[in-house]
Amino acid sequence: MLIYFVTFIFFYKYTLPIKPLPSWASKMRLLSFYFWENLSILFPSIKFLKNTQMTSNMTKKKKVNKSTTYSSENSKTTTTTTKNPCLLDLPDLVLETILEKLEPPDLSTMACVSTSLKDISLSEFLWKRHMKEKWGRIIGSAAQREWESHIATQKESRNYFFDGGEGGFLVKYLSKLMPVVVFKSSFNGKRNQMELSSDSSIVSFYRALETGKFWFPAQVFNRENGHVGFIMSCYDAELCYDSHTDTFEARYPPHGTRAIASESGVTWERLRAAPVDNSPHDLLISISLNDLRPKDHIEIQWRRNKQFPYGWWYGVIGHLESCDGNTTYCQCHTSNMLVLEFKQYAPGSRWRHMTINRRDHREEGNETEGFYGGIKKLYDKDDISMWQQFWPAGILE
């Protein structure tokens, strides 16, 4: 009994993997021995996975071998040659279902294995989901347009050098210097590289974002490390991702003669895609001002002067001075005058209240107190809580 127990402990300790396999590893059992061999040549670290896979299958294989021997002894007609199952032998739907379970780094690894797997692993439908999950909240239509413009510029540049007119600028120039055959082969290779960098696929966009090679427009809450002058605001910026720190670098457009401000270490929760699709210099024409009632949550465009871009600021609708706030008697919603409250500022602060006329509001203010522009009501609870997570610990003077 004791011998069995000691044997069990020894077996248990030395046959378990060092760390748990990734969730998708169980799906990989269908991979053939040859597949693992090829993969481990490309990625030596994959050998660990292969070894654990082979170890766990060893017992099963022995059982299969035994049964094969038995049957061949008893029946001379049994076929002894069997083909190893291969991932690519699976029906497309099954293979796609397996690939759908993989995370982007694993999908990229699979794309390196063979041409067939590359085509499937880089499919738009697989990457659309990853794009949406990781980047959907901060990549808006402005960033999308910026990417398309970037791709178009890359293609134009390629066409100018390689395709324009009768062979393009580079072709014309180099063909005078080199023999045609030599030039032609190097030109084709170069062209493939250019095509890679001007690829408009989703995976290419994903890769450009992940590697920080693409600066994209989005908005940053509490800009410049929560500078007191920007608490409870959200400003446009150009952003670049740093995968090592999982944060972003931000560059804010210039405010008049003030130098371009930049900030590093911006975290994901401080970012969002612009809520409206217009330039930070454009005034938003407010809609549904007539619907606003006390306690409604809003964000409003504000700028220090007319040369500066707008930022968005969080506020709530307040009661008129003539109203005591008793909801039974409150008629504030019937008045043309609309009170905007910014409760992050102390009572008495000139930034605490602003009154506008809801019937004809466009932009209101002056060079001293800044200009209050378009107003957007916040309907979504998630939008409201996104703002409120930045509420300052202390009231602002």
With contacts defined by CB under 5 A, how many residues of the chain interact with Zn ion?
4
319: contact with Zn ion by CB under 5 A: yes
Q: Give the DSSP per-residue string, 148-212.
A: HHHHHHHHHHHIIIIIHHHHHHHHHHHHTTS-HHHHHHHHHHHHHHHHHHT--SHHHHHHHHHTT
Among 30, 261, 330, 384, binds Zn ion (CB under 5 A): 330
Question: By CB under 5 A, which span of 33-41, 269-277, 296-304, 330-338 interacts with Zn ion?
Answer: 330-338
**What are the CA-CA distances from residue 210 to residues 31, 147, 204, 244, 285 (Å)?**
29, 14, 10, 10, 36
Question: By CB under 5 A, which span of 88-96, 284-292, 321-329, 388-396 interacts with Zn ion?
Answer: 321-329
Q: Shortest distance, CB of residue 299 to Zn ion, whole angstroms?
A: 21
* Site map (CB under 5 A) of Zn ion, residues 99-118, x = contact: --------------------
DSSP code of residue 35: H
Q: Shortest distance, CB of residue 375 to Zn ion, whole angstroms?
A: 18
Say how many residues make up the chain.
397
* Residue number, 95 or 292, with CB nearest to Zn ion: 292
CA distance 255 to 235: 12
332: contact with Zn ion by CB under 5 A: yes
**Cβ neighbours, 10 Å, residue 202:** 19
* Site map (CB under 5 A) of Zn ion, residues 278-317, x = contact: ----------------------------------------
SS3 308: coil
Among 46, 240, 316, 323, binds Zn ion (CB under 5 A): 323
Please say whether the beta carbons of 187 and 171 come within 8 A: yes
Question: By CB under 5 A, which span of 15-23, 62-70, 268-276, 332-340 interacts with Zn ion?
Answer: 332-340
Judged by the rule CB under 5 A, the positions of this chain that interact with Zn ion are: 319, 323, 330, 332
